[in-house]
Amino acid sequence: MLNKYARAFFTRVLTPFAALLIRLGVSPDAVTLAGTGGVVAGALVFYPRGEFFWGTVVITLFVFSDLVDGNMARQLGRSSRWGAFLDSTLDRVADGAIFGGLALWYAGRGDDNALCAVTIFCLASGQVVSYTKARGESIGLPVNVNGLVERAERLVISLVACGFSGLHKFGVPHIDILLPIALWIVALGSAVTLVQRVVTVRREAAEADAADRAVVQRGEGR
């Protein structure tokens, strides 16, 4: 849902900024690298110290690079396989840093092994969800399914909860409960999404294999 509607909205909003960067001679790859670096720094510097509000502010400023670099590439007419590969690979790095930073907090000063485990599951399941689609597509399957909690949903739920939970340090009572709730939601949603994709790949693979056998049988019957 977020990929369909929010991405289109923010793409329109960020188009003038993308055009400005092009005029300044900035390349899409440079934006991709800078954006990932900013997200990683924000997550691993602030989150392990429990600075969820400021960490989320920094991450949010850089996370939109994921839309800006693609917008720039389209305006330049330079959309390429390399750009898509780099963007997708660095997305995984950024996601790992976000959930890794939260896991470090719960493993350390946050002192909650259960939430540390849930956060690690969010990290791992997010990577596997992405892998199932990439692997399915690599063997020629469309993997035509809209998962319950995909990358956009994982980021929005987690970052919004982190940001608001950080207000606890500014005196807002009990708001820090939002982050554990969000992590459980992301964990459960990612598990459901993983099952959805595996089931879809299994069905599409069976259909493709049946179609291949039918072609062979028709060829043998001639």
pLDDT tens for each residue of 57-110: 999 989 878 788 888 888 888 777 888 889 889 999 999 999 999 999 999 999
**Burial of 105 per CB tally in 10 Å (0-12, 13-18, 19+):** buried
69 is in an annotated binding site: yes
Averaging pLDDT over each range in 4-18, 66-80, 174-188, which range is the top one? 174-188
How many Cβ atoms are within 10 Å of 192's Cβ, its own excluded?
Answer: 15
Measured distance CA(158)–CA(96) in Å, rounded: 13
Confirm if 107 and 118 have CB atoms less than 8 A apart.
Answer: no
Q: Average pLDDT, stretch 136-160? A: 90
112 assigned ligand-binding residue: no
Q: What tokens appear for 183 in the block?
A: 């992590």
Contact residues for 116 (Cβ-Cβ < 8 A; gap 6+): 103, 106, 107, 110
Residue 147, phi then psi, degrees to nearest 5: -70, 160
Instruction: Count CB neighbours of 84 within 10 A.
Output: 12
Query: Quick check: is 91 catalytic?
Result: yes
The reply, when asked if residue 129 is annotated as ligand binding, is: no
User: What is the reported pLDDT for 136?
Assistant: 93
pTM of the model: 0.88
The answer to whether 34 is annotated as binding is no
Residue 5, pLDDT score: 58
The whole-angstrom separation of Cα 168 and Cα 158 is: 16
Binding residue per annotation — 56?
A: no
Spatial CA neighbour of 192 closest among 137, 144, 148: 148
Structure tokens at 119: 């956060």
On whether the CB atoms of residues 127 and 92 are closer than 8 A, the answer is yes
User: How far is Cα 60 from Cα 38, in angstroms, rounded to an integer?
Assistant: 9
